[in-house]
Structure 1
Amino acid sequence: MIPLSLKKIAIITNGQLYGRDLVINDIVIDTKQVTLGCLFIALKGKQFDAYIFIKEAVNKGCAAIISQKKINYNVSYIIVEDTSIALGKIASWIRQKINPKILAITGSCGKTSVKEMTKSILEKNKKIISTIDNLNNHIGVPITLIRLTKKHKYGVIELGANNPGEISYTSNIAQPNTVLINNIYHAHLQGFKSLLGVSKAKSEILSGLRSQGTVIINLDSNHLSQWKKKIKNKNVFYFSIEKKKKVIFFLLTLQYIQIKHVLPCTHHLVK
């Protein structure tokens, strides 16, 4: 990550700084990843509260804490209303500051494979950052983006969800230049209720798309008609396996891959 002072982090997160100001070069949410002088964010979820691990983080050498409650240890700390939201705000600020070309990928299946293929292509010539494994939720996406440095030119970010609204949140943090909706199938129906619900949730990725951004859509997707208004006036590319007669053949070359027109594998594509 890029160095940030605690005062700056407090401003970004709308938090209150207690203790002396420090420059932070690393942010962690897991005590297993604590490094000397890092900032530990004590995330609080429905079934857990990392506040109980603050003592361990301090003992391991963290220099500062972000928490929703005051602490009684000899380190600087920032109090925020919601630590998860604070994490997202920091990631969003860093993303805007570095301003790499971001490709965001979603879909019912195959997201991680597509992400890895795209990463392997782009990293041959440019310094890129990508989602680690399948850490694609409201915590994983910010953690990925926080790792951005001035050397990074591209980002390949996977966005997943179990419930409506989750992809909208992470897409607005990532602010992609290009979005790819890989496919729409029956998945996580407990949260989305129906295939239409899945389609609506995946289309949330468009909410964070930057102006003049590019949309890449699987023409074989279910409920594609539901996206018409959202993709109107966008730079849209379609790819297909089943509708070969409706598209033209497109062969990827390294010269063509510039996040703005990125497609991770050879398909039939039409604009």
Structure 2
Amino acid sequence: MSNTPEQIIKALRLTDDAIVDGQGAFRRAPSCRIVTDTRSLQAGDVFLALRGERFNGHDFLEIAHERGAIAAIVDTPAEADIAQLIVADTRLALGLLARHHRLGWKGRLAAITGNSGKTTVRALCEAILSRSAPTHATRGNLNNDIGVPLTLLQLDDRCRQAVIEAGANHTGEIAWTASLACPDVVLINNVTDAHIGEFGSAGHIAQAKAELLTGLSPEGVAVLNRNDRFYPVWSSLASRHEILDFGVDVPARVQALDMVSDEGFYHFTLTIDGAALGQVALPLMGRHNVMNALGAAAVAHAMGCEPVHILAGLNGAEGVARRMVMVEGIRNTTLIDDSYNANPGAMRASLDTLVQRPGPRWCFLGAMGELGDYSARAHEALGQYAHDLDIDRVITIGEPARAISTAAGARGRHFEDWNAMIDFARHALPSDASVLIKGSLSAGMDRLVNALRSESSGDDS
């Protein structure tokens, strides 16, 4: 959605001496998009020059001008032909523009955070909400202090609802994005120790996730995971708001009753405030995805969605690429592609799902990243967990993951060479096996998925 020059000036609180527009092209424009990548520029856009560790948008002002930008938002005036709007910090300016844009949008917005499942819950919410009205949602991994503002700037009058993800790798990041998004509904999904090396403790992670509550409107609803150990903290902080909690085997407002697993796929009765909405046969694998489904149902309910749409959205849910997706493998094996990312809690949840699948059960695990000083003991504990679950083979790749296969005992085997591991898997993997493939994004475990696909399964990753 475009903004008028007057709206941009108002959002950034620009004075006349902060606007260098010798030819008047910027002020004469009827409306303009805010763009941060010159490769996406169109004639009439405004280029916002961000700075990063490995790039500086201010180096591309001439390119922006050549591609038709009518102005650039900069933090340092430059010798360039393009009109310039001078601010103290372009990253903060992006946030202010997004906040101004969001406050001018008339729809309702839900924001989701948590260590695990954000993208799955967001996709489930979108699947439910879009059945009742056009819905805007986060695309890709645009969930940080750059991605959230860019997502908010895409809100337009065609959509009456929005659901966004809010992630963080440091304290204060979600507080900032929450102040921009001004959500009507907030979901805190869980703490599973992702990024613990950067935050220092699970408690600090829980504190960072709670920052999303600071942006909640006075009449807003806090959707909280009653099964999470930090629920008492979050519910205390949200005590001035309506709390819609969800969980399994706990006295929550949103529950899954009469749960039955069919090789890792769950059937249950969805209830809200004691009333049964109906039956759900969740197409997503794993008990953890039941929790994700309950969180999405709670968000949709808080957004005013009808029960019929909630049930249809959950029963018709589609998996998200590289997140617990079943792929046909060589020799009639079933690959469980969970290669997008990993943390201690998510790894355990995936192993819990693997043991519900037909045997033999193998797992190929890459390292978990961003664990800092916790890395060695987290990997060792995971190997012991796999051993206790009686997983038949525990294969690892990369030095940090060695502790997993070592702790798994005789069932474990470690590789440092990719070609050697792929060759071993192709020759040793038994027919009809259930095979979990998981690791942090940096581990690149999708390479193994592609190597073990059957020829008939194609490549839809």
TM-score where L is the length of structure 1: 0.89
> Which residue pairs with 1:216 in the alignment?
223
Report the CA distance shift for 1:232/1:265 in structure 2 as closer, same or farther (over 3 A).
farther
Report the CA distance shift for 1:252/1:114 in structure 2 as closer, same or farther (over 3 A).
farther
State whether residues 186 and 195 of structure 1, in contact with CA within 8 Å, keep that contact through their aligned partners in structure 2. yes
> Which residue pairs with 1:191 in the alignment?
198
Determine helix, strand or coil for the equivalent of 1:23. coil
Query: 1:96-153 deviations in whole A, cap 9, x for unaligned?
Result: 1113100000010110111111112212231221111121000000001111122221
The correspondence for 1:225, drawn from 232, 241, 249, is: 232
Distance 1:246 1:78 in 2: 51
Report the CA distance shift for 1:116/1:228 in structure 2 as closer, same or farther (over 3 A).
closer
Distance 1:28 1:46 in 2: 19
State whether residues 104 and 180 of structure 1, in contact with CA within 8 Å, keep that contact through their aligned partners in structure 2. yes
Shift of 1:244: 4.1
Report the CA distance shift for 1:78/1:236 in structure 2 as closer, same or farther (over 3 A).
same
For residues 63-78 of structure 1, the aligned pairs below 5 Å read 63-78=70-85
User: Does 2:174 align with 1:131?
Assistant: no
Determine helix, strand or coil for the equivalent of 1:239. strand
For residues 102-113 of structure 1, the aligned pairs below 5 Å read 102-113=109-120
Distance 1:175 1:252 in 2: 30
> Which residue pairs with 1:269 in the alignment?
none
Amino acid in structure 2 at the alignment position of 1:173: L
Tell me whether 125-134 or 98-107 shows the greater mean CA deviation. 125-134
Determine helix, strand or coil for the equivalent of 2:227. coil
> Which residue pairs with 2:211 in the alignment?
204
Distance 1:246 1:152 in 2: 31
Determine helix, strand or coil for the equivalent of 1:98. coil
Distance 1:90 1:23 in 2: 17
State whether residues 50 and 90 of structure 2, in contact with CA within 8 Å, keep that contact through their aligned partners in structure 1. yes
Shift of 1:225: 2.1
Distance 1:246 1:65 in 2: 50
For residues 53-202 of structure 1, the aligned pairs below 5 Å read 53-202=60-209
Shift of 1:259: 4.7
TM-score where L is the length of structure 2: 0.54
> Which residue pairs with 2:19 in the alignment?
17
Percent identity reads: 30
Shift of 1:227: 2.3
Which protein, 1 or 2, shows the higher relative CO under an 8 Å CA cutoff with sep ≥ 6?
1
Report the CA distance shift for 1:168/1:265 in structure 2 as closer, same or farther (over 3 A).
farther
Q: Give the count of matched residue pairs.
A: 263
Shift of 1:185: 1.0
State whether residues 24 and 39 of structure 1, in contact with CA within 8 Å, keep that contact through their aligned partners in structure 2. no
What's the RMSD between the two structures over aligned residues? 2.3
In structure 2, runs of 5+ residues without a counterpart are: 256-270, 279-296, 316-461
Distance 2:37 2:302 in 1: 32
User: Does 2:46 align with 1:3?
Assistant: no
Query: 1:6-57 deviations in whole A, cap 9, x for unaligned?
Result: x431231133211121333311101111111111100123443211111222
Shift of 1:208: 0.1
State whether residues 128 and 314 of structure 2, in contact with CA within 8 Å, keep that contact through their aligned partners in structure 1. no
Tell me whether 33-42 or 72-81 shows the greater mean CA deviation. 72-81
Amino acid in structure 2 at the alignment position of 1:18: V
Distance 1:150 1:219 in 2: 35
Report the CA distance shift for 1:73/1:259 in structure 2 as closer, same or farther (over 3 A).
farther
State whether residues 103 and 259 of structure 1, in contact with CA within 8 Å, keep that contact through their aligned partners in structure 2. no
Shift of 1:238: 1.1
Amino acid in structure 2 at the alignment position of 1:102: L
Report the CA distance shift for 1:105/1:166 in structure 2 as closer, same or farther (over 3 A).
same
Distance 1:50 1:71 in 2: 12
Distance 2:37 2:140 in 1: 16
User: Does 2:42 align with 1:48?
Assistant: no
Larger radius of gyration: 2
State whether residues 2 and 150 of structure 1, in contact with CA within 8 Å, keep that contact through their aligned partners in structure 2. no
Tell me whether 119-128 or 84-93 shows the greater mean CA deviation. 119-128
Distance 2:97 2:301 in 1: 27
Amino acid in structure 1 at the alignment position of 2:60: F
Report the CA distance shift for 1:75/1:258 in structure 2 as closer, same or farther (over 3 A).
farther
Amino acid in structure 1 at the alignment position of 2:114: G
Amino acid in structure 1 at the alignment position of 2:186: V
User: Does 2:303 align with 1:260?
Assistant: yes
Determine helix, strand or coil for the equivalent of 1:40. strand
Determine helix, strand or coil for the equivalent of 1:137. coil
